[in-house]
Structure formats: structure tokens, C-alpha cells
Amino acid sequence: MRRSAVIALSAGALLSVSALSAPAQAATTAPAAAAAAPTVSAKGAFVLNNASSATVYSKAADTRRQMASTTKIMTAAVVLSTKGVDLNRKVTVKQAYRDYVAKEGASTADLRTGDKLTVRQLLYGTMLPSGCDAAYALADTYGTGSTNAARTKSFIAKMNAKAKELKLTNTKFDSFDGISGGGNNYTTPRDLAKIAQYAMKNANFRAVVKATSYKAAAPAANGGTRTYTWYNTNQLLGSYSGAIGIKTGTGTAAGPCLVFAATRGSKTLVGVVLSGTDRYKDAAKMLDHGFGASTAKTMKLRTLPSNAQRD
């Protein structure tokens, strides 16, 4: 069940290697067995080493599936890769963005018509509460055309162009937020991990997806200042030691999804769960497998406030 994002209105000011092989052991000494790969609930899953791109874990890694709101990773990546992007550019919220989430029953940043938010704030609104209204605002701003529909279609074309640039042959977007009318919004665990790996190269993206919460103060339509408070729907953050992102997604066709990343020591792993009944435990078990750890069994999920979005 989705709930409204938290908003406060005020008239105040803005918030601011490996070693050489050892000699052979005696014939009676058996080599150490590699840790068995964990069993996960996900229908599709994949983990890669961020530095080397080596596969750490794989399950139906090349089977196409819908991805729900993990789509928004590419939405953010396209915005951030725009030449000369100005993260302080102000965007006026249109009633169309609110009407869209109301019609779709979608997750929302609860943007208010006439408020002016920066692109940076809209990125947080897109990625933390999984705001489809914020994603719409970004697509409408960075697409081209004379109408909202033309601009969002143009933006989705940019998402597909980026997927082609990344040589992802099993990924297609027909949506800027994961709400797919025709079902042509799909990827694979391997492709989605590569999208996330690409996005995580951007420092601004990393800053957004690792935040558990964010406050955004914006000029309100009535001349005052409105403060938006958003909580990250990704409960792996603050629950699994070293977690640094990335994005949840849930849909009728897609099921519960999660794109995640964690760093321990000098190693960073990036992974994907598609259609998993226990996505956070799946992620923790795969990360443990990659890190040679055993913390998944005792992991306790960070609790979201009652008024936070769920995705």
C-alpha cells in the first residue's frame, strides 16, 4: 500500500591480488572448497564485481523480465549524462504530473502544482520515494517537443539510445518510470546490473541513492517555501553493512525488484533481484557470498516511517 510523502509548508528561508601459487600440497590434502552459491527466492538475479565486471552470482541472468520502478535508474542516468546538465535548474511542477500519479495509483513524491524544484531535488524525489511525478517532471524537462507526450516520448528514446550505447541487447524502455502500458519495458538481471554499474560512475547519482532520507525546500506556488521530506524505500540501506544503494521496484507483472550495491574494504558489488519474494534477504545472501561474509541471517531491516512511500 502506498502512502503520501511528508510535506511541511512555511514562509521561512530555504534549507539549505593474488600471491604466486604456493608449492603443491601433499596428495592427502584436499583443496579448500569454494563457498556454495546461495539459494534465492528471485526468479532472476545477478551480482557483478564493480571494478572488474566479473560475475559473482548468476540466476537466469539473461531472461527478460519487467523491472518496475528500477527503470528510474536509467531515467536518472540519462538526466545526469546530459551535456551541460544544471542540477540547480528550477522546474515548475505541472498539474499533469499530479494527475498522472492519481490516475495510475503510482508511488509519489507528492509534488505540489506550481512549486519550483531543482533538478537535483527532482532526482532525490525520483529515487528515494520512487516518485513517478518527479520522474515525469524530469522526462518532461529533458525531452524535446511541443507537448508533454512528445517530450516524454523523446526522453524514453534517449533511455533506449543509452541502453544501445551500453550494448544492452535485452533491454527496452517504453516508460520513464516503470509503469508500462504495453509490457515493453523489460530488461535482464545482467543488463540491469550493467545499467546500475554505469549510473554509479556518477558522483551525484551515488550521493542520491545512498541517502536514507532527504529534505528539499522549494519556492511554493503561494509565495512561501514548502519543505518536502522523502525517505528511501530501499531498506537494505542502514540494514546491510556497506550498502550504498540503489533502487527498489514493485509491479504486478514485475513482482518485487531490487537493484543494490555495497562496498566492504576495497570491493564494491552491484546486484539485481527481479521478481523475488524476499528481495532484501536475497540481496544480503548474494552480497555475503561475494564478500565471504555471513551477516544475512542476522540482518534486521531498517524500519520506514509510517508515512513513507513503499515500493
The rounded radius of gyration (Å) of the Cα atoms in the chain is 20
Catalytic residue from among 59, 107, 130, 180: 130
Please tell me the distance from the alpha carbon of residue 11 to that of residue 183, in angstroms, as a whole number. 44
Helix axes 119-127, 72-80, angle to 10 degrees: 160
Please tell me the distance from the alpha carbon of residue 100 to that of residue 222, in angstroms, as a whole number. 22
69 is catalytic: yes
201 is catalytic: no
Q: Is residue 162 within a helix (H) or strand (E), and if so which, with residue range?
A: helix 148-165
Evaluate whether 185 touches 95 at the Cβ level (below 8 Å).
no
Phi, psi of 238 (to 5 degrees): 80, 0
Catalytic residue from among 59, 72, 194, 281: 72
Please tell me the distance from the alpha carbon of residue 215 to that of residue 16, in angstroms, as a whole number. 9
The size of the chain, in residues, is 311
130 is catalytic: yes
Evaluate whether 172 touches 195 at the Cβ level (below 8 Å).
no
Catalytic residues: 69, 72, 130
